[in-house]
């Protein structure tokens, strides 16, 4: 008999719209492997006014590419203030009645996979799974609340900080299995001394690592079917490409600093794709500093990214060194899209459990200074054809380990362990 898997991700609404993303590809591949899969998400889109109408009910449903989606009614949230707290809370509370009703109509799940970003989804997953008498796998895609402490949104030793940490420990203890998206995330449990070996209550045997990745087949199809008519992309220049959010953690100003140092190199241009709260500031800098070698391209549809990356000469993973703990690895989607494009990568931070080092497909900077970044760009531009092709081949070959067909196999192994 087919096993029923419920995947809970508050923000999978964007995956429904984009027809791609971690849980979309998990669902797609699980269905191909003979599982019944349903994705539960909010009826709102992250940081947008847009929403999916649930009528007078607490949820509505739709099917796309054979994947059933359940949209749980919640409130619109823009930004990170009280509206977002309300949005998360409504999603949490409504999940209980929606799960009960959906199980009555369609049968209960065999396993619930409850995924962060925020922990309330995992709390609901554990509680509902217990009521239904089924196991719950909790997937931690961000070490929360560590990220909150890193960004000084709360102090670790404050009443709030201690409460959040206790809640996190409760999730790790109660989950039937834990999936982390960074290879070194189980180090965190050891650092906290929460593991059984150090007198804690968490068995490290239930911890698993499944990184983010890419659907290679889909990436290559999009790259060939969604051409972008842009003279900058098709020019013979050495294209330094950044794709992603333009906000403090991404430290995109550092790219402009490097571009300023390379102003006299007429064959090098910086193409920056993305949007965010620092975009206007960067646009102002480009004008004021006369950075003619920088083009800020603005927001770009996800479906165009594979083609854009295929036209790059080098792709930049640009992060702030200070605002995040990089020692445990990297699970950013864009790293795997960069690898799939088969182009060299420069990371402005040195990662623990380094994928770039392991697959020899890029350069990681020690100090993340503009000078160091500019030198790395020149180094790759000056590669011989043989060197350049070798690093590009390594990226293409390495990304096969992060294809969602293979990653879904790892998820199936975890499902089999709990069921």
**pLDDT at 2 (0 to 100):** 83
pLDDT at 35: 97
Q: How far is residue 190's CA from residue 203's CA, in Å, rounded to a whole number?
A: 11
One domain for residues 161 and 19: yes
* pLDDT, tens digit, 9 for 90 and up, residues 162-190: 888 899 999 999 999 999 999 999 999 99
Least confident of 15-19, 154-158, 303-307: 154-158
Verify that 162 and 305 share a domain, yes or no. Answer: no
Q: How many helices (H) and strands (E) does the chain have?
A: 17, 14
Q: What are phi and psi of 113, to 5 degrees?
A: -105, 105
- Pick 143 or 286 by higher pLDDT: 286
Residue 231: the pLDDT is 94
Q: What's residue 130's pLDDT?
A: 98
Looking at residue 322, its pLDDT comes to 65
- For the chain, what is the mean pLDDT? 94
360 and 272 share one domain: yes
pLDDT at site 156: 79
Q: What is the pTM of this model?
A: 0.93
**Domain identity same for 283 and 368:** yes
Tokens of 53: 């109408």
User: Do residues 202 and 242 share a domain?
Assistant: no
pLDDT score at 26? 98
Number of independent structural domains in the chain:
2
pLDDT of 323 reads 64
Strands (E) in 136-198, as ranges, are 136-140, 177-180
Do 194 and 239 fall within a single domain? no
Mean pLDDT (whole number) for 79-87 = 85
Q: Where in 264-407 does DSSP place strands (E)?
A: 268-273, 294-298, 314-317, 345-347, 362-364
- Same domain flag for 60 and 207: yes
**278 shares a domain with 205:** no
Q: Which one, of 345, 332, 355, 353, lies nearest residue 401 by Cα? A: 355
Model confidence pLDDT, tens digit, residues 292-335: 999 999 999 989 999 999 999 999 998 877 667 889 999 999 99
Q: Are 256 and 282 in contact (CB under 8 A)?
A: yes
DSSP per-residue codes, 327-340? TT----HHHHHHHH
Q: Which of 355, 353, 352, 361 is nearest to 380 (CA)?
A: 361
pLDDT at 48 over 70: yes
pLDDT above 70 coverage of the chain, percent: 99
Query: Domain check: are 329 and 208 in the same one?
Result: no
Task: Give the domain extent around 383.
Answer: 216-400
Return the SS3 of 344. coil
My answer on whether 332 and 372 are in the same domain is yes
CATH number at residue 277: 3.40.50.2000
Neighbouring-strand partners of residue 293 = none
pLDDT tens digits for range 199-252:
999 999 999 999 999 999 999 999 999 999 999 999 999 999 999 999 887 889
- In this predicted model, what pLDDT tens digit does every residue of 256-283 receive, in sequence order? 999 999 999 999 999 999 999 999 999 9
């Amino acid at each position: 008999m087919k096993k029923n898997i419920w995947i809970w991700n508050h923000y999978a609404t964007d995956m429904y719209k984009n027809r791609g993303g971690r849980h979309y590809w998990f669902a797609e591949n699980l269905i191909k492997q003979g599982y019944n899969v349903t994705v539960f998400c909010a009826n709102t889109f992250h940081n947008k006014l847009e929403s999916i109408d649930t009528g007078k009910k607490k949820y509505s449903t739709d099917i796309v590419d054979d994947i059933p989606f359940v949209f749980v009614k919640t409130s619109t949230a823009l930004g990170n203030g009280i509206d977002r707290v309300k949005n998360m809370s409504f999603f949490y509370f409504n999940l209980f009645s929606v799960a009960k009703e959906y199980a009555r109509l369609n049968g209960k799940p065999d396993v619930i996979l409850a995924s962060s970003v925020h922990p309330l989804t995992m709390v609901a997953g554990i509680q509902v799974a217990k009521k239904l008498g089924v196991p719950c796998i909790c997937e931690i895609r961000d070490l929360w609340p560590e990220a909150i402490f890193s960004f000084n949104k709360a102090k670790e030793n404050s009443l709030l900080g201690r409460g959040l940490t206790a809640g996190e420990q409760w999730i790790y203890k109660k989950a039937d299995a834990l999936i982390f998206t960074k290879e070194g995330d189980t180090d965190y449990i050891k650092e906290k001394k929460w593991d059984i070996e150090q007198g804690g209550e968490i068995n490290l045997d239930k911890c698993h690592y499944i990184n983010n990745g890419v659907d290679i087949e889909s990436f290559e199809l999009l790259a060939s079917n969604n051409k972008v008519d842009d003279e900058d992309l098709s020019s013979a220049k050495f294209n330094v490409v950044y794709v992603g959010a333009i906000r403090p953690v991404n430290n995109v100003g550092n790219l402009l600093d490097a571009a300023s140092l390379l102003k006299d190199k007429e064959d090098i241009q910086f193409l920056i794709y993305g949007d965010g709260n620092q975009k206007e500031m960067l646009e102002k800098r480009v004008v004021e500093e006369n950075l003619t070698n920088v083009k800020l391209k603005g927001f770009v549809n996800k479906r165009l990214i594979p083609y854009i990356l295929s036209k790059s000469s080098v792709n930049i993973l640009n992060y702030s060194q200070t605002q995040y703990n990089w020692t445990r690895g990297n699970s950013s989607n864009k790293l795997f899209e960069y690898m799939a494009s088969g182009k060299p990568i420069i990371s402005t931070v040195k990662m623990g459990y380094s994928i770039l080092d392991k697959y020899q497909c890029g350069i990681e900077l020690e100090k993340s200074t503009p000078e160091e970044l500019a030198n790395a760009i020149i180094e790759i531009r000056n590669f011989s054809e043989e060197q350049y092709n070798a690093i590009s081949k390594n990226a293409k070959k390495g990304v096969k380990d992060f294809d969602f067909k293979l990653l879904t196999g790892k998820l199936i192994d975890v499902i089999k362990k709990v069921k």
